[in-house]
Chain A
């Protein structure tokens, strides 16, 4: 199955700044997904990133706050913009490893703390 490398693994950021998280996959994948996991909570889908088109955002998430790039079939970035302490979460990249069976694998995550 696909292996995902996610960077940085953790960061502490000042409020009002932005952080870009990178996700690199060792094989070409059509769709990449970005999730957020707030402390003590489950995973919430932020957006779906397809190569060559704009990302599709879930309800409650907007492009201005979470811009996403998908320049090729193995790489994506998620930027958390104008951060506030409420953005402190784990951000996870995920890819679909078996189309038609909806099987996913996750990167190791980025633990973000905003102070």
Chain B
């Protein structure tokens, strides 16, 4: 059973702080890792993807991947109230084609 787990929420941070979201996965063969943001009542929106160990930065977002520990994280610097959403970690696994499974999500609330 391939699983993706995320730190339980909800997570509350003050505006301007760093929000840290964590995710672990069970399939050592996974090669692609994603973070989606989902606002209430909306569909998921891809915000970051990472394939190699280390850090990947895009604006205020940094994704970190450690395949040996089967761990991926998302840091949001200078958090804004507009970052308040549910963040879904997703991991690919290969059968006869790429499939993606999602973690349960972490709800983030940025307090002004």
Contacts and interface: CB of A to CB of B under 8 A. Distances in A.
Contact of A106 (B44, B92, B97): B44
Contacts, number: 48
Interface stretch (B53-61, B67-75, B101-109): B101-109
Given A42-B88, A43-B88, A102 B44 contact: no
Contacts of A44: 102
Contacts of A42: 88, 102-105
Contacts of B32: 101-102
B46 to A, nearest CB: 7
B43 A92 contact: yes
Interface in B24-58: 31-32, 34, 41-46, 49, 51
Interface string B69-108: 0000000000000000000100010000111111111000
